[in-house]
Structure 1
């Protein structure tokens, strides 16, 4: 009977919450009539307890309900039984009798009892000190909720450290544009759903996203199951005839809708944007409309996936006597249309089918499309997901190579015989295949590096190659160590080691700062003697910046005489010179870099240097420290290339 009371209580709650005007229940039927609730038995609800029936009374009530339910529908509305006799002490004004219309007081009674079910008894609450106070020593560890006492002060959840470390990456990537390339194999990967969630999470963190989806795997699977009459592959490129084009359309459509479906689910899961009757965005402080808001003039703040004719294509034509028919390459990216979609906080989806101005449809290499779109949109990043998952490492030390410069990538491709063609395809010289392990994973990695190089040459700042593993995307974008291969443009182009012929230019550059006391005097003969420790940044054979690098014992190195010409300041030249010298330090084994300054202390602090003492210097440098000049000392530890890659994010956006 207690179960029946609870069910009736829930029914009363349903009336209150949903605004249902009336309903009736019995053991077998449920009917509606305005403002009336009837039941085969009765129920009293008190403020303190509910009255229960004995087993005999319960059986009698159920039997009566069965008879009334089968006699007629009209009788079911009027079934009301007499309540059993009660003692006078048990009477209560807070009574809801089933069989009569309910009123406001009944609803208030039920709501009061339900609220009391979830209330916390204040007598059961106590305040317990954690053993932490402002007057005691600061603990870098974070208390864990649920732990009390001294143990809480030593608990250190990894989440806090991780989140603090990711904050700078989140801020730096916000409002930047990234192009993701998704190979067709990922749709059959068990982690595909999680990958879509991670991409949606990067959208939530402020990235403007273009998804470029390939369907080569789906096409190859269909061709293997039902080989067409003609299927030609030339230089790794498929000749697309009418029959194959029909198949490409079908598979591209399948991939498109699958990605849209999963991404729409992920966006709704991570979106969190609510609808607003006011389509404009107002400033939280003064209520003024923000014209730069990405949500301007939108009532629906949820993100969507938008696909369409965002690029045009043209035929590949005839190469080496082979007519590639409906195989094409990107002709023009509709950048304005894509930016309009991003302005409404939506995601753009591109497939490998491109339409020419004449209305012809062409099969386009999806990797080439991703690289071309990223370059046309001036994207901050292009990210290629691999199928097999590989990494690079040095043969002698077996140390993992986490990042490559554009020149390094170009040299690697030349060494392995990989050639990237301007019409959106790549080829591998068979005579140089002995440099590469004969495996699909190695060839895939080389081709991804090639398409990354193509994107960088078109103006993209960075390219990432990420293996398909759980959380790899988030780790690559928002942590220092990353998870994949980073390829970046040659940010240090124009920087080289100085020669004797540069002495005059260096002297002219540093003389104004020597006169005002910012730099220590360096006569020409001293510059000539130490010229091998100097590096210069040139533009059109003009020295616009310089710096000096000295090595010391115990993995120490000093950077000094860092000067940028007045006409070229605030353009990233100083950051480029500093980054170049830091990479030289790391390459030579120096992980502790220090500088001495009397005027530009804040500039170095902003770039990760911290104050140090004379005692922190290597012994040979501390011995010649100028105590009269009293230059301030700043030290920076650099453990890996990833530390420097993170620094570059700030000055090369």
Structure 2
């Protein structure tokens, strides 16, 4: 090589600085593959525009679109309506009910609704049209489709109050929306609907989003709302709920804010109508959408139905199914050998996940003194690996551990170190194990030790 040839090899410092990005990109690749061609209905409250602005959200949605996701975007306009009412010196009027907080939309208020919706819709379309160099929108060519996709009906007179031009979604033109999505368009829906007689109605953006997601059988319905996250009895933020758990939570928390209660009720209807997942994210946090979709822990709460419902504690009837899962992995040396007698003895320590009464995964929790527990025997059927069953089992074990007062988990593994590292575990040594577990450590297997603080 000539002595004056440039050194093109990256320095150690450059490699270290680039590695976090490379690692992150590799981590999110499975999500990108999984979400391609999936239909997402993304709904954001009008408060988002006032608190963090449109620019970054539109850039994030444009990126999702570029990755091959089919996007329906629904916007709210409640604070924008209030601004228009104040400009015209018109007082806001709401119905008094414990079930909802509908605005009473008379003729003057309807004009404010139209003004607010039209202005924000134009701002959104303009944001999608940007393509300046050296910005996330550079090179983007995004077409946005709006139209009369929503047929509405009046709320009518409820508890003696006439809501006049306030309406409910009656029908969604799903075939036209699908045609637009098939043509690689982003569909933009405002919270307005029209009756067959041509009358306009003011709608709740949550109703528009949920009804559209249900009509499309969307893969995800995502709400960016101003409501705070739900908390459990211990004051911890709830990250996952099944439909039965949601119903129980609402019945036990009768003092919940009316708006949040209405949002949860609408989300439950969407799940029952066939929407796979509903996500609730904070509207005042920049990047919440990307963090929820492309990180393991996410940032909000997810509502689902069947998968979570099928996650339960094991019984003696499950011993055979657990053996079918674990024996092939024991033969490969991935799991430590456990005979049927051992599994029968410890069956109360196992959690399992099943689909149509067939076991597809299992995991066990063994407590030790001083608030330490062992995660053991985590196994998922090879036919469903990558579907998230392993992560759901891990979360179940973590939940059980917290309920038992366990503050730290450890796991011994020979092949799956990186899977656990990506989910918050850290490398440790045999010396970090509880004394009782250290004494029966199998030095022939030379398992790696990983720990996680709960």
Q: TM-score, normalised by structure 2?
A: 0.74
2:339 aligns with 521
2:375 aligns with 558
Q: Is the counterpart of residue 303 in structure 1 residue 142 in structure 2?
A: yes
Q: Cα deviations across residues 350-383 of structure 1 (Å, max 9, x unaligned)?
A: 0111123454432211112112222332333333
Q: Is the counterpart of residue 177 in structure 1 residue 39 in structure 2?
A: yes
2:251 aligns with 414
Q: Tell me how far 1:584 sits from its aligned partner.
A: 3.6
Q: Is the counterpart of residue 215 in structure 1 residue 77 in structure 2?
A: yes
SS, match of residue 130 in structure 2: helix
SS, match of residue 60 in structure 2: helix
1:509 to 313, 321, 324: 321
The answer on whether the counterparts of 1:612 and 1:633 sit within 8 Å (CA) in structure 2 is: no
Which stretches in structure 1 are left out of the alignment for 5+ residues?
Answer: 1-124, 133-138, 144-152, 274-300, 418-431, 437-441, 641-653
The answer on whether the counterparts of 2:230 and 2:238 sit within 8 Å (CA) in structure 1 is: yes
Q: Cα deviations across residues 559-606 of structure 1 (Å, max 9, x unaligned)?
A: 228576x9x96795964773454434663333322357xxxx6xx578
The answer on whether the counterparts of 1:591 and 1:639 sit within 8 Å (CA) in structure 2 is: yes
Q: Tell me how far 1:349 sits from its aligned partner.
A: 0.5
Of 351-360 and 367-376, the range deviating more from structure 2:
351-360
Q: Is the counterpart of residue 191 in structure 1 residue 37 in structure 2?
A: no
When residues 637 and 477 of structure 1 are mapped into structure 2, their CA distance, relative to the original with a 3 A threshold, is farther
When residues 506 and 373 of structure 1 are mapped into structure 2, their CA distance, relative to the original with a 3 A threshold, is same
When residues 187 and 575 of structure 1 are mapped into structure 2, their CA distance, relative to the original with a 3 A threshold, is closer
Q: Cα deviations across residues 72-102 of structure 1 (Å, max 9, x unaligned)?
A: xxxxxxxxxxxxxxxxxxxxxxxxxxxxxxx
The within-5 A match list for 1:282-297 is none
Q: Tell me how far 1:543 sits from its aligned partner.
A: 6.6
Matches of 1:337 and 1:212, distance apart in 2: 16
SS, match of residue 342 in structure 1: helix
Q: Is the counterpart of residue 583 in structure 1 residue 395 in structure 2?
A: no
Q: Tell me how far 1:409 sits from its aligned partner.
A: 4.7
The answer on whether the counterparts of 1:546 and 1:577 sit within 8 Å (CA) in structure 2 is: no
Matches of 2:233 and 2:395, distance apart in 1: 25
Q: Tell me how far 1:531 sits from its aligned partner.
A: 3.4
The answer on whether the counterparts of 1:212 and 1:366 sit within 8 Å (CA) in structure 2 is: yes
2:115 aligns with 250
Which stretches in structure 2 are left out of the alignment for 5+ residues?
Answer: 332-336
Who wins on radius of gyration, i.e. which is larger? 1
Q: Tell me how far 1:337 sits from its aligned partner.
A: 2.0
2:290 aligns with 474
Q: Tell me how far 1:329 sits from its aligned partner.
A: 1.5
Q: Tell me how far 1:481 sits from its aligned partner.
A: 5.9
SS, match of residue 591 in structure 1: strand
2:241 to 402, 405, 426: 405
Q: Tell me how far 1:556 sits from its aligned partner.
A: 4.5
Q: TM-score, normalised by structure 1?
A: 0.54
When residues 317 and 571 of structure 1 are mapped into structure 2, their CA distance, relative to the original with a 3 A threshold, is farther
Q: Tell me how far 1:553 sits from its aligned partner.
A: 5.8
The within-5 A match list for 1:417-566 is 417=254, 432=255, 448=263, 451-458=266-273, 459-480=275-296, 482=298, 484-490=299-305, 491-498=307-314, 502-503=315-316, 505-509=317-321, 518=331, 520-523=338-341, 529-537=345-353, 546-552=362-368, 555-560=372-377, 562=379
Matches of 2:419 and 2:95, distance apart in 1: 52
2:411 to 583, 593, 609: 593
SS, match of residue 279 in structure 2: strand
When residues 222 and 614 of structure 1 are mapped into structure 2, their CA distance, relative to the original with a 3 A threshold, is closer
Matches of 1:573 and 1:384, distance apart in 2: 22
When residues 207 and 632 of structure 1 are mapped into structure 2, their CA distance, relative to the original with a 3 A threshold, is farther
Q: Tell me how far 1:395 sits from its aligned partner.
A: 8.6
Matches of 1:402 and 1:487, distance apart in 2: 9
When residues 359 and 412 of structure 1 are mapped into structure 2, their CA distance, relative to the original with a 3 A threshold, is same
When residues 229 and 475 of structure 1 are mapped into structure 2, their CA distance, relative to the original with a 3 A threshold, is closer
Matches of 1:185 and 1:572, distance apart in 2: 35
2:224 aligns with 385
Q: Tell me how far 1:522 sits from its aligned partner.
A: 1.8
The answer on whether the counterparts of 2:280 and 2:300 sit within 8 Å (CA) in structure 1 is: yes
Q: Tell me how far 1:632 sits from its aligned partner.
A: 7.5
The answer on whether the counterparts of 2:145 and 2:186 sit within 8 Å (CA) in structure 1 is: yes
Q: Cα deviations across residues 415-473 of structure 1 (Å, max 9, x unaligned)?
A: 442xxxxxxxxxxxxxx3xxx6xxxxx76666555554554444231403123244444
Q: Tell me how far 1:170 sits from its aligned partner.
A: 4.0
The CA RMSD over aligned residues, in Å, is 4.4
The within-5 A match list for 1:254-269 is 254-265=119-130
SS, match of residue 339 in structure 2: coil
When residues 416 and 609 of structure 1 are mapped into structure 2, their CA distance, relative to the original with a 3 A threshold, is closer
The answer on whether the counterparts of 1:208 and 1:345 sit within 8 Å (CA) in structure 2 is: yes
The answer on whether the counterparts of 1:241 and 1:326 sit within 8 Å (CA) in structure 2 is: yes
Q: Tell me how far 1:493 sits from its aligned partner.
A: 1.0
2:439 to 598, 606, 623: 623
Matches of 1:349 and 1:513, distance apart in 2: 46
When residues 254 and 184 of structure 1 are mapped into structure 2, their CA distance, relative to the original with a 3 A threshold, is same
Q: Cα deviations across residues 48-70 of structure 1 (Å, max 9, x unaligned)?
A: xxxxxxxxxxxxxxxxxxxxxxx
Q: Cα deviations across residues 373-423 of structure 1 (Å, max 9, x unaligned)?
A: 223323333333335x75566797x76x37232455544433442xxxxxx
- Higher RCO, 1 vs 2 (CA within 8 Å, ≥6 residues apart): 2
Matches of 1:157 and 1:563, distance apart in 2: 30
Matches of 1:191 and 1:385, distance apart in 2: 13
Q: Tell me how far 1:619 sits from its aligned partner.
A: 4.7
User: Number of matched residues?
Assistant: 430
1:340 aligns with 179
